[in-house]
Amino acid sequence: MSTLTSQLPSTSEAIPEALPPANERPSRLRRWLPALAVVAFLAEMAVAMITAAVEQTPTIDEPVYVGAALVYVEQHSLRYNPEHPPLGKLIIATGLAFADARLDPAFVGDQTQLGRHVLYESGNDPGRLMLAARLPVIVLTLLFGLVVFSFARDLVGPVGGLVALALYAFSPDVIAHGSLATLDVPVAGFLLTSVWLLWRARRRPALYLPLAGLAFGAALATKMSALAAFPVLLLLVVLSVRRRRDLLRLGAAVVLIAIAVVWASYLVVDPLLRWETPPGLPQRALVDWLPVPEPYRDGMRVQFGFEDQVWGGFLFGRHYLGSLWYYLPAALLVKTPLGMLALWLAGAVVMFSRLRPAAPYVLVPAAVLLAAAMTGDRDLGVRYAVFVPMFLTVAAGSVVTVRQRWMRVTAAFLVIFAAVSSLRTFPYYLPYSNEAFGGPTKTHLRLHDSNVDWGQDLGRLADVLRQRYPGERIWLVYKGSGVPSHYGIDATDPRKVPPDQVRGLLVVSDSAIAKADNHLTALIKSSTPIDEVGHSITIYRRP
């Protein structure tokens, strides 16, 4: 051995000092590959979300949140949008701080009028303002991607983490709603984060349980629907604390920290908590006992009032009043890539059979939250269940624990299939549906509202009309919060005149088609479809 060594050149002559020895390079490369893959997946997701954010005009809910966020920051008032706690809108406000947004302090009106006033009547640039409002949610969505990866990696290793992250990064629903200044992705991501931290608390409860309380408090302070997860999280606290004498102390800490976050979100807006209860709110005895600020309790009463109303739904071509208990599972079946659905199912089976200790942390929260969402009376979109792709992508990562070659090949194929299906819909993620249901061009035949047409394509419509149909008479039925005239669309509502006066282009939002009354239905049937915009607006020619 000494003879062989003496015959080799010295290290400084044989290998440049900046490079590791050849036998160490593969191991270092293997260590860096997961990190590079994570960066690549999140970069792809960022491009998709930013593109969607730039190209889409305001959706129905966004102006309300933007207006309320500005009032929070400039007037320190909680009077707008009380049905949702402040944290999500404060996150949106961090982007508005860079947009030089203006708000008339003398404005008087409801929250819908406030949003229109801020975007279109105060001298602000709606496109620039909406992008600024959406960017913080985009950043938060990308951070939740790291949570998905870390959770799955903790369960099954880095390969499983990458499978989960790939499905998350290509999820059309997560991309669609993660690129909007809304609250659905933030609340779902905070819930996922709290559950992941509870899983980690099994080994270090004193560190991770308080952090789980912070994350759950952030969910509660973003949207009240997070309350449905409270019993599940208490169960997971019990499972995570091995020393029973510490259970009461640490469990109480989680609850108290979560409540403190809720209080802090209100006090940041108005340290004096000046608030007047709106008249006519429905009363619920349980609400009065909650240790949260009065505006939070009144916000819950507003939500109960919404649930007491009769809402219209649309599923598989049928318009109905009320709600269907199976609406959300059916809508998820339509709007989830087929490869992703298969991996969700396989991951759940594998988790029950091979990773049973993890099942209560991944599958039970998803099932309970979905069951709670299914009891709602508003069949308006899978955004109410956007937590499903977050939790089930973590479950899907467990398929890597099956060592058979066929499973690995199949899993790789399904990930690629899901990714290709998602990429094909770029940048039209809101109206996505999978290949079994005809793709995004057919979504409006089966679903409506935020599943396909949430007012996001008004700007694209203006471009199409200007480029393809200059000078033509336009009759418009638009469902959204945008102001058509701001985008150069000079149009008349055809429902306000006799049918024989409607001549030229009849432009109708697909959600309006789904719920058309007899007058509009007659106009559509006597017209010829000639074009579509963003898979959410149909253009007809009426002779």
DSSP 60-76: SSHHHHHHHHHHHHHH-
- Among 92, 91, 119, CA closest to 107: 119
pLDDT at residue 327 in the model: 97
**Do 542 and 523 contact (CB within 8 A), yes or no?**
yes
Is the domain of 463 the same as that of 507? yes
In sign, the C-alpha dihedral spanning 173, 178, 184, 188 is: positive
Task: Give the pLDDT of residue 403.
Answer: 87
- In this prediction, residues 140-151 reach a mean pLDDT of 98
- Confidence band, pLDDT 50/70/90 cuts, at residue 11: very low
Looking at the DSSP assignment, which residues form a beta bridge with residue 537?
Answer: 509, 533
- The share of the chain scoring above pLDDT 70, in percent, equals 95
Residue that has been written with the tokens 């930013």 in this structure: 50
pLDDT of residue 420: 98
CA dist 178 and 172 (Å) reads: 10
pLDDT of residue 41 exceeding 70? yes
Asked, for residue 493, whether it belongs to a domain, the answer is yes
Confidence of residue 29 (pLDDT cuts 50, 70, 90): low
Give yes or no for residue 71 having a pLDDT over 70: yes
Q: What is the pTM of this model?
A: 0.92
Mean per-residue pLDDT for 199-210?
95
Tell whether omega for the bond before 427 is within 30 degrees of 0, i.e. cis.
yes
CB 471 within 8 A of CB 489: no
Contacts of 113 (CB under 8 A, 6+ apart): none
At which of 382, 407, 424 does a domain end? Answer: 424
**CA dist., res. 97 & res. 349, Å (int):** 46
Of 5-19, 51-65, 374-388, 406-420, the range with the lowest mean pLDDT is 5-19
**N-terminal to C-terminal alpha carbon distance within the chain:** 94
Which pLDDT does position 282 carry in this prediction?
Answer: 85
Q: At what angle do helices 158-169 and 405-424 cross, to 10 degrees?
A: 20
| 420 and 462 inside one domain | no
Q: How crowded is residue 349: how many other Cβ atoms within 10 Å of its Cβ?
A: 14
| Same domain? 481 vs 380 | no
Number of CB atoms found within 10 A of residue 321's CB? 8
277: containing domain: 149-424
The pLDDT of residue 245: 81
Is residue 49 in a domain? no
Contact 218, 190 (CB under 8 A): yes
Inside any domain, residue 62 = no
Q: Which residues pair with 532 in a beta bridge?
A: 538
DSSP label of 492: B
Highest mean pLDDT (candidates 269-283, 302-316, 320-334) = 320-334
- Report, as an integer, the average pLDDT of 421-434: 97
Residue 47 included in any domain:
no
Instruction: Please check whether residues 294 and 357 belong to one and the same domain.
Output: yes
160 & 299 share domain: yes
pLDDT band with cut points at 50, 70 and 90 for residue 490: very high
Q: Which two tokens stand for residue 291?
A: 């240790």
Q: Which of 402, 424, 446 is the last residue of a domain?
A: 424
Q: How many residues are recorded in the chain?
A: 543
Q: Is residue 108, in this structure, part of any structural domain at all?
A: no
377 is a domain residue = yes
| pLDDT tens digits, one per residue of 368-398 | 999 999 999 999 999 999 999 999 999 999 9
* One domain for residues 380 and 474: no
Burial of 146 (0-12, 13-18, 19+ CB in 10 A): middle
Q: State the Cα–Cα distance between residues 436 and 417, nearest whole angstrom.
A: 13
With 90 as the cut, is the pLDDT of residue 17 above it?
no
Q: What is the mean pLDDT of residues 399-409?
A: 92
Q: 533 forms bridges with which residues in the sheet? A: 537
Residue 270, pLDDT above cutoff 90: yes
CA proximity to 86, closest of 271, 347, 325, 312 = 271
Measured distance CA(502)–CA(540) in Å, rounded:
11
Residues 198/240, Cβ–Cβ less than 8 Å:
yes
Sort strands 474-477 and 537-542 into parallel, antiparallel or unpaired: unpaired
Nearest to 387 by CA among 255, 223, 156: 223
Q: How far is CA 137 from CA 112, 130, 366, in A?
A: 21, 11, 22
494 and 406 together in one domain: no
| Residue 412 sits in the same domain as residue 489 | no
Last residue of a domain, one of 424, 441, 469: 424
Q: Considering its fold, how many domains does the chain have in total? A: 2
In this structure, are residues 491 and 522 in contact, taking their beta carbons and an 8 Å threshold? Answer: no
Asked whether the beta carbons of 478 and 454 are under 8 A apart, the reply is no
* Structural domain includes residue 66: no
- Same domain? For 415 and 485 the reply is no
What pLDDT band is residue 26 in, cutting at 50, 70 and 90? Answer: low
The model's confidence at residue 32, banded by pLDDT at 50, 70 and 90, is: confident
pLDDT at residue 27 above 70? no
Selection from 36, 37, 15, 40 nearest residue 25 by Cα = 15
Confidence of residue 100 (pLDDT cuts 50, 70, 90): confident
Do 511 and 385 reside in the same domain of the chain? no
State CA 45 to chain mean position distance: 13
- Please state, in angstroms and rounded to a whole number, the distance separating the CA atoms of residues 531 and 165: 37
Answer yes or no: do 461 and 416 share one domain: no
Question: CA-based angle 482:488:492, to the nearest 5?
Answer: 75
Domain assignment present for residue 438? The answer is: no
Average pLDDT rounded to a whole number, residues 526-537: 96
The single residue listed with the structure tokens 């913080």 is: 136
pLDDT above 90 coverage of the chain, percent: 85
Note whether 363 and 281 are same-domain residues: yes
pLDDT tier, 14 (very low <50, low <70, confident <90, very high otherwise): very low
